[in-house]
Structure 1
Amino acid sequence: MPWLQFAVCALLIGYAGQALTRYAAIISQLTGLSASWIGLILLSAATSLPELFTGVSAVTVFDTPDIAVGDALGSCVLNLGLLVALDALSRDESVYCRVDQRHVLTAGFGIILIGLVGLAILTVGTGIDVTFFHVSAYTPLVILLYFVAIRATFVHERQLAIIAPPVETEDGIGLKQAILRYLAAAIVVGIAGSLLPYIGMQIATMTGWHQSFVGTLFIAMATSLPEFVVIVSALRRNAADMAIAALLGSNLFDVLVIAIDDIAYFGGSIFANVSPAHAASALAGVIMSGIFIVALLYQPRNRFFGHFSWVSLSLLSIYFLSAYVIYLHDF
Structure 2
Amino acid sequence: MTGSTWPLAPSVAALAVALLVIVFAGKSLASTADTLADRTGMGEAVAGALLLGAVTSLPGIATTAIGAWQGDAQFAIANPIGGIAVQTVWLAIADLLYRRSNIEHAAASLENIMQALVLVALLCLPIVAYATPGLTIGWVHPASLLIPVLYLYGLHLVRRLRQNPMWRAEQTSDTRQDVPYDADGDADGAPSTRRLWRRLAALAAVVGGTGYLIGQGGLGVIAATGLPSGFVGFTVTTAITSLPELVTLIAAVRIGALTLGIGNILGGNAFDSLMIFLADAAYRPGSVYTDAASAGLLLAGSTTLLTVTLAAGLILRERRGVGFEGVAIPVVYLVTVVLLLARVA
TM-score, normalising length: structure 1? 0.91
Q: Is the 8 A contact 2:313 2:324 kept in 1?
A: no
Larger displacement relative to structure 2 (101-110 or 160-169): 160-169
Are 2:197 and 1:192 aligned? no
**Does the 8 A contact of 1:134 with 1:268 survive in 2?**
yes
Shift of 1:115: 1.9
* Preserved contact between residue 87 and residue 312 of structure 1 (Cα < 8 Å): yes
CA RMSD of aligned residues (A): 2.1
Residue 205 of structure 1, CA deviation: 4.6
- In the superposition, the TM-score normalised over structure 2's length comes to 0.87
User: For the residues of structure 1 that align with 2:336 and 2:47, how far apart are their CA atoms?
Assistant: 31
| Corresponding residue of 1:8 | 17
Q: Which residue of 2 aligns with 1:316?
A: 330
Distance 1:180 1:151, change over 3 A: same
Distance, in Å, in 2 between the alignment partners of 1:219 and 1:212 is 10
1:158 aligned onto 2:158: no
Counterpart position of 1:117: 126
Which whole-Å CA distance do the structure 1 matches of 2:107 and 2:302 have between them? Answer: 23
Closer, same or farther: CA 23–171 of 1 in aligned 2, 3 Å:
farther
Q: How does 1:17-36 map to 2 (within 5 A)?
A: 17-36=26-45
Residue type at the aligned position of 2:216: Y
Equivalent residues of 1:6, 1:200 under 8 A apart: yes
Partners of 2:100 and 2:222 lie apart in 1 by 38
**CA distance 1:322–1:122, change in 2 (3 Å):** farther
**2:71–2:284 CA contact under 8 A, matched in 1:** no
Partner SS, residue 275 of structure 1: helix
The answer as to whether partners of 2:68 and 2:76 remain within 8 angstroms in 1 is: yes
Partners of 1:208 and 1:37 in 2: CA distance: 41
Equivalent residue number for residue 138 of structure 1:
143
Shift of 1:74: 0.8
Mapped partners of 2:225, 2:131: distance in 1: 28
Counterpart CA distance in 2 for 1:194 and 1:90 is: 34
- In the aligned structure 2, how far is the partner of 1:138 from the partner of 1:193? 26
**Per-residue CA distance 1:174-218 (angstroms, 9 max, x = gap):** 111110011001111111244234334444555421111111121
Deviation at 1:266, TM superposition (A): 2.1
Per-residue deviation at 1:112? 0.8
**AA in 2 matched with 1:83:** L
The alpha carbon displacement at 1:302 in A equals 4.4
Listed one character per residue, the Cα deviations across residues 207-243 of structure 1 (whole Å, up to 9, x for unaligned) are 4211111111212112111111111111112111111
Q: How many residues align?
A: 322
Q: Sequence identity, in percent?
A: 24
Gaps spanning 5+ residues in structure 1: where?
none
Q: Which amino acid aligns with 1:94?
A: N
Q: Which runs of 5+ in 2 are unaligned?
A: 1-8, 167-177
Q: 1-side partners of 2:189 and 2:332: how far apart?
A: 43
> What are the residue-to-residue correspondences of 1:276-291 with 2, within 5 Å?
276-291=294-309
Distance 2:312 2:196 in 1: 36
- Which whole-Å CA distance do the structure 1 matches of 2:79 and 2:320 have between them? 34
Deviations 1:132-186 (A, max 9, x none): 1111111221121111111111111122498979423554211111100110011
Distance 1:96 1:58, change over 3 A: same
Q: Once the 2 structures are TM-superposed, how far is the Cα of residue 18 of structure 1 from its aligned partner?
A: 1.6
- 2:296 is equivalent to residue 296 of structure 1: no
Match of 2:340 among 305, 326, 331: 326
Equivalent pair of 2:126/2:300 in contact (CA under 8 Å)? yes
Q: Distance in 2 between matches of 1:204 and 1:267?
A: 20
Pick one of 169, 177, 186 that aligns with 2:195. 177
Retained in 2: the 8 A contact 1:142–1:256?
Answer: yes
Distance (Å, rounded) in 1 between the aligned partners of 2:121 and 2:289: 17
Q: Equivalents in 2 of 1:6, 1:293: separation in Å?
A: 32
Contact persistence 1:81–1:316 (CA under 8 A)? yes
